[in-house]
Structure 1
Amino acid sequence: MSSPTGTAAVDVTDTDVICLGESMVTFLPSRPGRLADVPSFDRAIGGAESNVACALAAAGHRTRWVGRVGTDGFGDHLIHAIAGYGVDTSAVGRDPERPTGIYFRTATDRATDAHEVVYYRRGSAASAMSPDTVPAAAVTGARVLHLSGITPALSDDCLALMRRLTARGPGRPLVSFDVNHRPGLWRDPAGARVLLDLARGADLVFVGEDEAADAWGLEGPAAIRAALPEPAAVVVKQGALGATEFARPGFAAPATPARHTEAPEDREEPGPGADGPAVHEPAPAVDITAPVGAGDAFAAGYLSALLRSLPARDRLRHGHLMAAAALTVPGDVAVPPATAHADRLAALPDADWGKLRLGPGWTTSGAEEGHAP
C-alpha cells in the first residue's frame, strides 16, 4: 500500500502498463438537469490515465496507476476503487497538505451547451507530482508507460515530470501519449505547442482529428502524421468515422518490461522513418448512453491488442470495441467485453463489421446487440 505521506513504497513486480496521471472522485447526477437542480449525486472515479489502467486490468493485463492523492477520505476511496479493478496502487503518493481533486457533472451530452462540469482540482495533491515526488522506480518495470496531455497542464512541476518521462533514453518503456488537449486547464497560452513537443518524445501517440485541428491547425490524418514524424506510431481518432493508424514497419510493444538500469531492448530506434501503409478502420454504430471515457477506453483497447501482438486492423478494432463499452454505460469506466467475445467481433469480415451496432449490455450478453439493417 501507499505510505501515509510523501513518496509511496513501490512494488517492483513486472507490469504490462504503468499509467501516470491525476484521478479524481466524480459525482454523477441522479437525474438529468442543471447542477443547480439536481438533488443528489452518485460517487464514482474519473481520470484519463486511471481509466486506462482500470480498463486494461479488467481485460486481464497487469497494470499500475501512479498518481498523488490527499490523505483525506476521497483519496482513500480512489485508491480502494482503482485497486478494486485489479490495478496496482502501491506507487500512489499521499499528500498531507493538499486535497484530492473532485468534480461534478450533469447527465447531459457533453456536446451541448446544457452540459456542465465543475472541477475542484486547483492546488490538488495531483498537481504536486514532480520529478522529486514521483520516484523513477515507480514508472519503470513495465512494457508500456501511458501518459496524457492533462498532466502537464496541472502545474509547472507536473510539466517538468512529463518532460522527464518523454525524454528519450536507454531502457525506457514504450511511451504511449494521449494528447487529451484541455484548453481550459492551461494557464500558458503556449500549452498546445507544449503538447506537440511532448508528443514528439513518445513512441505511440493517440490524438483526435478534431483536437489536432483546434490545437495545432492541422487538417486530416496525413497532416497530423507529418507534424509528428518522430513517434513509431500515431493513431488519429476520427469519432464516428473510425480511426487511422500510421506506423513504421515492425512497430510493437516490448516483449519484456523495461528497466531504467538496463540497456535498451533491441527494437526500432526512435526518429523519423518510412511508415508502412496507413490503416483505417471504421467505428461500429453505437447506441450511446453517455459520451464520457470513450477516448481513454479506445486507448486501453488498442494497447491491449498491442500487448498481444495483434495486427493494426485488430488494434484499431479492439480500440473501437472498448470505446463502445464505455459509451454504453453512464460512468467513465466500463466492464470490457470478454477477450474471446472481442476477438470474435474484431475478426468479422469487413462487410459484417460495417453492419455492427452495439448498445447497452452488449459486453455481458456474449453476443452483439444485433446489426444495423
Structure 2
Amino acid sequence: MALDPVVVCLGEALIDRLGPPGGNPAVDLPVDDRLGGAPANVACGLARLGTPVAFAGRLGQDAIGEAFVSLFAERGVETTLLQRDAERPSRIVLVRRSSDGERQFQGFAGDDGAGFADQALEPLSLPPARWLLIGSLPLAAPTSASALLSAVRQARRQGTAIALDVNWRPTFWDATSDPAAGPSAAAQATMQPLLDQAALIKLAREEALWLFNSADPGAIRQALPQRPDVVVTDGAAPVRWCLSAQTGEQEAFKPPTVVDTTGAGDAFTAGLLHRWAAPPHERIRFAAACGALVCGGAGGIDPQPTQAQVEVFLGRVS
C-alpha cells in the first residue's frame, strides 16, 4: 500500500437497484442500478472530500466488480484490501422508492445458490490507520463475521479507532424478514461486541431505540463501558450528538432538491470523519451538509460532494 490511509472502510460493496418511484424493483421498469453499499459509499465520499481512504471488502469476478474497480480508481480509493471471488457474484439489493424519495430495502437479486461475494470475506491484514469504519452487515454471515471481528481485533492492537455505523438491514440477516423489523435478541447479541469497542457510534433514531431504548446520545454513551462518541440521526429531524463529552443538536439542512435519499447517512459519516479535527459542532454541521447534498441525485455515490461544494452550500445556508 503506497500511502497509509486515514480511514479503512470495511464491508459491502453492491448494486442498489432502484425501482421506479412507487413501483417494485423486482418487476417494474425502468430500474436504475447504482453502485452502493454503506462502506463503499463512505470510502468514495471520503475520497471525494480529500481524505486518504482504503476499501476492504469482497466482490465477484463480474461486471459489478469491474465497475467498482473502475470507480475506486477514479475516486482514488486504495484497493489493496479488495478481494475478488470467482464463485460468488456481487450482491444486488432491490430498493423500493416512495414518490417522495424515501427508500426501503426489500430483497436481493443475482444469487445463483452459492451466496454473495461479500458473505465470503476472508481475514485481512490491516494497515495502520486513524479509523476503521465498519457496519453490522458482515455479522449476518459466518465467514464475513469472522473476518470483521478479526479486523476489529487487529485495529485495537494497532491503536486504530473503530467507527461503527450500525446500519441495521433485516433482509441481510433473513431475506424473508419484514424490511421494517428491528433486530432480534440474537442479532443484538452478535452486534454487542462491536458496540462495546467502538470509539464512535452512529445510529438512526430507530436503531438507537431498538438497541438502547433511548435516542439520547448522552444516555447511550453512558450505557457503554468505553464511553464512545455517539451520533443519532433522524431523517429530516435534527441530528443529536455527544462528542468529546459535549452534547448538541443540528437541524437537518433542506436539500436543494430531493431525488433519492439513498446514501445520505453514508455521506454524513464521510463528512464527519473528514472533519474530525474540527470542533464538535463544526464536524456535525459539515456532515449534515454532505448528507443533504447527496439527496439531490440518484444513488449513494454519484451525487457525493467535494469539500468546496460543501463549503459553498454552508455559505448559502448560514
**TM-score of the aligned structures, taking structure 1 as reference length:** 0.73
Contact 1:66 1:89 survives alignment (8 Å): yes
* CA distance in structure 1 between the partners assigned to 2:88 and 2:312 by the alignment: 47
Specify which structure has the higher proportion of helix: 2
Are 2:163 and 1:176 aligned? yes
RMSD: 2.7
* CA distance in structure 1 between the partners assigned to 2:43 and 2:261 by the alignment: 19
Cα separation, partners in 2 of 1:203 and 1:109, compared to 1, 3 Å: farther
The structural deviation recorded for 1:210 is 1.7
Other-structure match for 2:189: 193
* CA distance in structure 1 between the partners assigned to 2:101 and 2:133 by the alignment: 27
Q: Which runs of 5+ in 2 are unaligned?
A: 175-183
1:1-373 alignment, distance < 5 Å: 11-29=1-19, 33-35=23-25, 38-108=28-98, 117-120=106-109, 123-129=115-121, 133-136=122-125, 139-153=126-140, 155-167=141-153, 169-186=156-173, 189-248=185-244, 275=245, 277-286=246-255, 287-306=257-276, 309-343=277-311, 346=314, 353=318
* CA distance in structure 1 between the partners assigned to 2:127 and 2:28 by the alignment: 43
The structural deviation recorded for 1:215 is 3.6
Contact 2:18 2:25 survives alignment (8 Å): no
Contact 2:45 2:305 survives alignment (8 Å): no
Cα separation, partners in 2 of 1:172 and 1:347, compared to 1, 3 Å: farther
The amino acid across from 2:149 in the alignment is: R
* CA distance in structure 2 between the partners assigned to 1:23 and 1:190 by the alignment: 25
**TM-score of the aligned structures, taking structure 2 as reference length:** 0.85
Q: Which runs of 5+ in 1 are unaligned?
A: 1-10, 249-274, 354-373
Q: Percent identity?
A: 27
The structural deviation recorded for 1:318 is 1.0
Cα separation, partners in 2 of 1:83 and 1:303, compared to 1, 3 Å: same
SS at match of 1:279: strand
> Aligned pair count?
304
Contact 2:48 2:305 survives alignment (8 Å): no
4+ residue runs over 6 A deviation: none
The structural deviation recorded for 1:341 is 4.6
* CA distance in structure 1 between the partners assigned to 2:100 and 2:224 by the alignment: 29
**Which of structures 1 and 2 has the bigger CA Rg?**
1
The amino acid across from 1:179 in the alignment is: V
* CA distance in structure 2 between the partners assigned to 1:214 and 1:109 by the alignment: 27
The structural deviation recorded for 1:123 is 1.3
The structural deviation recorded for 1:227 is 2.1
